[in-house]
Structure 1
Amino acid sequence: MVSAPAARAVLVSATASGQGKTSVTAALARKLSRTGQRVRVFKTGPDFLDPMLLARASGAPVQSLDLWMVGEEDCRRQLADAASDADVILIEGVMGLYDGEPSSADLARHFGLPVLAVIDASAMAQTAGAIVLGLRDYGPVHLAGVIANRVASQRHAEMVVGALREVPLLGSLGRQPSALPERHLGLVQPDEVEYLDSLLDRLADELALDEATWNALPLASFRQSAQPPQEATLAGKTIAVARDAAFAFIYPANLDCLRTLGAELVFFSPLADEPVPAEADAVFLPGGYPELHGEALASALAWRASLTSALQARLPVLAECGGMMALTDSITAVDGTRWDMAGLLPGRAVMQQRLAALGMQGWQTRHGVLRGHAFHYSRLEDGPAPSARAVRHPSGTEGEAIYRSGSLTASYFHAYFPSCPQAVADIFLGRSPA
């Protein structure tokens, strides 16, 4: 019997958001990759920005793992693929270890992953032990060790070590003079951070890792499951994908899914006022930060005219969240500044200080549930009547409106395409997936 591929794999989690999971995961990825180890990083749950930064830190694409959105079999396949060509697999959790349904702890238990707990030790010492033992025993999970973040000194780190009892301290990271910058939807995009590689190198340098304890962690193996063949229903089709600083929220798996369906992808930049490529048979406008680029988009007349022509020619267009906002009549910022948009979907996108929606959702189609999530700070005022609605997971309550007008499909809902590829194919073929 051929043995399953194996790699050293850990899930990096914490008590809550804001404890430094991303900084520690990035530091660990950069530190290990600089020693010549092949590092693959995954992100648990729905996220676009953390994976961009972690990809920069590790030098390899970062995919999503989630038992509900991605599914057990696809998670297993991705882990097996990673173990076949990597020495180390790092999986950054979402929120706190036990938050969500399913939680990061559920993922760890399901695949037998040891957990590496990141503890913000900046305002504690011995109490770190109580927190760590609680994280271990509540589930329970296999807690492989702790990384103490924001420690003040070597003496401070020693106090934390003394409180952990039998749980090893795998490493520590001191307080940083400059943190990874944040914005209302999370981390900024890596290309927007000056000297990002220097910042990542500094984090790696300052991560004090107990290499003997790290190297003693057992290897994990993941048996590959057969992937069912995917019908190439988009063969011969060219899909134009908007991709720039305003439209950057794209799961790498979504692009892979479109290619597996047989589509050829071409990219264009609305911010650069590039029109939809002439060879396009369909258009994908992903989410992003159009509200931060309102002035540029308002003056991008060529791309707006090309979208108008595309819809008049009945080219299928899928616009998600920020992509949808750019097609409305206008975007209004929190400070009241208003920019005219393409005017191809009735309504006005209005930014607000508080979250308008957050969490997993699914769209029931004739092919099954197309799964994904919603996360936005704007609301659509005076929009059209929805043709369907997504459903929140796990509550089953009414979720995001889905608008269909002619060949346009638009929603705040971000779809994870591999969860229901044929529904996605229907959209890009101009058919209703309902």
Structure 2
Amino acid sequence: MPKASAPAVPAILVAAPASGQGKTTVACALARLHTRQGRRVRAFKCGPDFLDPYWLTLASGAPVHQLDLWMTGEADCAQRLHAAAQEADLIIVEGVMGLFDGEPSAADLAQRFGLPVLAVIDASAMAGTFGALAWGLQHYREGLRFAGVLANRVASPGHAAMLEGGLRDAAQWQGALMRSEAFTLPERHLGLVMSDELGDALPRLDAAADALASTPLGQMGATELQGWSVDFEPPASPGDAFPAGALQGRTIAVARDAAFCFIYAANLDCLRALGARLAFFSPLADPSLPECDALWLPGGYPELHGATLAANRAMKDSIAAHVQAGKPVWAECGGMMALFERLTTADGSSHAMWGVLPGSVTLQKRLAALGPQQLDVAGGSLRGHTFHYSTCATPLQAAGRTQAAPGRKLRGEGEALYVVGPTASVRASYFHAWFASSPATTARLFLKDSHE
């Protein structure tokens, strides 16, 4: 039987000429505004980002997944967009970096799926150049649908009028958001502060939605939104198959709290699709691991919670017992950092960690590594990315290293994969994995037999 097509649904990709222009604020404001009006909004994040989805989830009230033509794959993107179109009144995709930055870029995604592009430009220090930037973003590449331009961090109504007057095509004007602390989203070294760390996260989004409501963009109703309609077809061919029941009957303990929070929702879905039961726990607050067959320590901010982690000696002992029992551990980035003997923060504070890996990690003030990569592990290959400010010093020899994504080059060596434990059951790396890129490999990460 032929695959069913999803109905055409309004969709928009919120892009910018560079990072830091306010894409997340605008995407969240748009999602929050239409959600409050009773529309079903599904939001996505372009590229390997853990933090923006927290805000988009709060704004839309629905799970947020990543879209990346390489890391998640074209078939995965097509399937997720097709599924969202079955239930949504509006699909919002937040871009990554600048519109044409990266391989693949947000523009590549927009062109592949026919997404109209809304350009958000920080106009706080410009006037006539705003029009030149808008023109360039619209016409730099043929074949992109363009939904207009929104000026962000504008000083005054007079400034807004000046910006609008600089456009060659006045029809592209989607309005201006004035500079305001009421809806500024705070940042730190790895990106935005997570929404659940702020007591006023939702009021900030409501303030942004209220501000957007006075713009042409915010005043679009159901009829106007139809101009953004996209037909999302299902993928022509499925991605990698999920081994049926590969983790059936197995319980995986997943660290999830303020220190370990870099978790793709799709990774949890992948583990469940493989048959695993997930048991969440907090290394900050809990005295021990839950009963489990394997352990996943995702990335996050152990450096912000070093004293609390060091004080929880009972958790350290529980993790040591898990390792000594030869049970599998997969630790990525922040999860790996906590497995070392010592962690030193950028201000020089030092904390004893769990001591599973010999050596120490030290936070730097500059980015140590960034980019899409892939890792050969557990007899297969996983796609993902790396993004960290710390470096590690260890006598361990790397059991393997990541490779650059196609079209990219590594600066120096790839990220090390460290393998330790009585049955080589602990695997750790700075690499963040996208589990669905190889479900069979993912299953083997958490199976004891695959480590022996």
Moved more, 219-228 or 383-392: 219-228
Does structure 2 retain, via aligned residues, the 8 Å contact 1:423–1:433?
no
* 1:372 corresponds to: 384
Does structure 1 retain, via aligned residues, the 8 Å contact 2:376–2:400?
no
State the SS of the aligned residue for 1:4: coil
Q: TM-score, normalised by structure 1?
A: 0.96
Match of 2:346, as an amino acid? V
Does structure 2 retain, via aligned residues, the 8 Å contact 1:367–1:433?
no
1:176 CA displacement: 1.0
* 1:418 corresponds to: 436
Q: Which runs of 5+ in 1 are unaligned?
A: none
* 1:209 corresponds to: 215
Moved more, 253-262 or 206-215: 206-215
1:248 CA displacement: 0.4
State the SS of the aligned residue for 2:339: coil
State the SS of the aligned residue for 2:444: helix
1:324 aligns with 2:336: yes
Provide Cα deviations, 1:192-223, integer angstroms capped at 9, x if missing partner. 11211111101100113323485352311111
1:159 CA displacement: 2.1
How far apart, in 2, do the equivalents of 1:277 and 1:368 lie?
28
Does structure 2 retain, via aligned residues, the 8 Å contact 1:365–1:433?
no
1:143 aligns with 2:146: yes
State the SS of the aligned residue for 1:61: coil
How far apart, in 1, do the equivalents of 2:302 and 2:166 lie?
48
Match of 2:376, as an amino acid? Q
* 2:261 corresponds to: 248
1:366 CA displacement: 7.3
Aligned pairs (5 A) from 1:104-143: 104-140=106-142, 141-143=144-146
State the SS of the aligned residue for 1:395: coil
Aligned pairs (5 A) from 1:118-197: 118-140=120-142, 141-166=144-169, 167-178=171-182, 179-197=184-202
1:409 aligns with 2:423: no
Match of 1:402, as an amino acid? L
Match of 1:305, as an amino acid? D
Corresponding residue to 2:287 among 274, 296, 299: 274
State the SS of the aligned residue for 2:275: coil
CA-based RMSD = 1.8
How far apart, in 2, do the equivalents of 1:322 and 1:295 lie?
15
* 2:323 corresponds to: 311
How far apart, in 2, do the equivalents of 1:58 and 1:89 lie?
10
* 2:14 corresponds to: 12
> Percent identity over the alignment?
54
How far apart, in 1, do the equivalents of 2:85 and 2:293 lie?
37
Distance 1:321 1:366, change over 3 A: closer
1:125 CA displacement: 2.2
Does structure 1 retain, via aligned residues, the 8 Å contact 2:289–2:318?
yes
Does structure 2 retain, via aligned residues, the 8 Å contact 1:52–1:189?
yes
Provide Cα deviations, 1:30-67, integer angstroms capped at 9, x if missing partner. 11111101111100111111111111111111100000
* 2:36 corresponds to: 34
How far apart, in 2, do the equivalents of 1:309 and 1:188 lie?
34
How far apart, in 2, do the equivalents of 1:132 and 1:433 lie?
54
Corresponding residue to 1:103 among 91, 102, 105: 105
1:404 CA displacement: 1.1
How far apart, in 1, do the equivalents of 2:358 and 2:339 lie?
8
Does structure 1 retain, via aligned residues, the 8 Å contact 2:250–2:293?
yes
Distance 1:127 1:94, change over 3 A: same
How far apart, in 2, do the equivalents of 1:99 and 1:368 lie?
29
How far apart, in 2, do the equivalents of 1:177 and 1:114 lie?
29
Corresponding residue to 2:445 among 409, 413, 427: 427
1:153 CA displacement: 2.3
How far apart, in 1, do the equivalents of 2:298 and 2:5 lie?
40
Match of 2:443, as an amino acid? A
* 2:242 corresponds to: 230
* 1:198 corresponds to: 203
Moved more, 78-87 or 208-217: 208-217
Match of 1:292, as an amino acid? L
